[in-house]
Chain A
Amino acid sequence: QVSLQQWGAGLLKPSETLSVTCGVDGGSLSGYYWSWIRQPPGKGLEWIGEVVHSGSVNYNPSLKSRVTISVDTSKNQISLRLRSVAAADTALYYCARGVWEPDYWGQGSLVIVSS
C-alpha cells in the first residue's frame, strides 16, 4: 500500500522560497504522473504542475515563472519549490499520484506566508 508523506517549511515571509517534499513509501515513481496541487484556506483547488519519473515536467502557466518541480529517484521523492512567495500563496499544498488523473493524494502541507 503506497503512502505519500509530505514535509516542508510551514511559515514563510514574503519573497522567500517555498519548499515542500513528498516521499513515496511502498511504491515506485515510475509509471505515474506526480502532481502538486494547492488549496488556499476555505477555497478551491489549483493545479500547480506535474513531473514524471524521467524528470519531464509540465507547469500551470499561471505559476510557471516561479515554480520548479523535481524528482529524486534515489530517494523516491518529489519536490516543489515556489519562489518569491506572497500572502496569496498561503495554502495547503498536496502531492498527488496518477496514471493520468491525480487519483491518490497526500495529506497536504500547510504553508503560511506572513510578514
Chain B
Amino acid sequence: QAVLTQPSSLSASPGASASLTCTLRSGINIRTYRIYWYQQKSGSPPQFLLRYNSDSDNLRASGVPSRFSGSKDASANAGILLISGLQSEDEADYYCLIWHNRVWVFGGGTKVTVL
C-alpha cells in the first residue's frame, strides 16, 4: 500500500469548489505530519502551493491566491487541498508531500479538470 494515496482525477465546473484528498497509509497518523501541496501545469515544473499542519501552523506560498487552502480530516487520516472558486487556470496536476522516515514522499497526484 502506498504511503500517500490521491484520487487520480477530479472534474469540476468553473466557480465550484474542489476538495483534493491525500490519504495516509494506515498506521501513519495525519496528526503528526505537515502536508505540502504542489501544482504542476502541463510542461512546467511543480510549484509549491502551501503547507498545512494546523490552523496555527500553515503557510501559503508567496503569490498563491487565498482560494487555495489546506486542512486535515483526522477521521479519514487525510490532508485536504481546497480550491474555492475554480478557474480555468487551476487546471493542473496536484501533488501532496510529506516527510516520512527521513524521506520526502509524494502522492501519486490528482489531475484537476475544469469543465
Contacts and interface: CB of A to CB of B under 8 A. Distances in A.
B108 A44 contact: yes
B79 interface: no
A101 B38 CA distance: 11
Contacts of B105: 47
A47 B38 CA distance: 14
Contact of A44 (B45, B61, B99, B109): B109
Contact of B104 (A47, A104, A105, A108): A47
A50 B47 CA distance: 18
A26 interface: no
A108 B40 CA distance: 13
A45 B103 contact: no
B51 A101 contact: yes
A72 interface: no
A103 B61 CA distance: 9
Nearest to A35: B104
B51 A47 contact: no
B50 to A, nearest CB: 10
A106 B45 contact: yes
Given A101-B36, A103-B61, A45 B95 contact: yes
Given A58-B102, A101-B36, A107 B45 contact: yes
Interface of A: 35, 37, 44-47, 50, 58, 60-61, 94, 101-108
